Amino acid sequence: MMINRTFAGYALCATIIVSTPLMAQHTTSLYELKTETLQGKPADLAAYRGKVTLVVNTASECGYTPQYEGLEALHKALAPKGFSVLGFPSNDFGQQEPGSAQEIAEFCRKNYGVTFPMFAKLSTRPGPGQSPIYAFLGTSGHLPEWNFGKYVIGKNGKVVAFFPSAVTPESTELRAAIANALNAVQ
């Protein structure tokens, strides 16, 4: 939107940028969005429609990085029930994910045996560079305050629970939220 004003004979022109990304305004399900894999290939999150997912903003050099082990165990244990962990590397907090996509993939595989889907590095923070994925997740009223924030996403692609970084993959409250989402009829 452009606003033009005249002040003391000078024309002023300002551009107002709406801070809410357009995608978040029209998206009703995470599973409507598209992104890229960590290998740079197109990825349609519609592939997870009908499943419960755990979306996590990850980082390789964080104090919470050992959570990769628990996330992988959770992914393997619950995959047969229609569940998947989805990892989204981000360098937003403490610049703790500085590596390239190849370096991130190698780190995850070598150190934690990660087999769950990992996607291209993105920005979780509000503003013009924010990923549409996190713009949508933010409509839940929660955005990560650090690495390893966790969103439980229901079969319909809507956020059913958010857990901050300190809540581990082994925690009873996270596991209960996942179990409830898996058992929900949607």
Q: What angle do CA 139, 44, 146 make, to 5 degrees?
A: 45
Please pick, among 23, 36, 61, 62, the residue that the annotation labels catalytic: 62
- Catalytic residue status for 13: no
Q: Which residues lie across from 36 on neighbouring strands?
A: 42
Size (the chain), residues? 186
Residue 124, Cβ density class (10 Å: 0-12 exposed, 13-18 middle, ≥19 buried): buried
Catalytic residues: 62
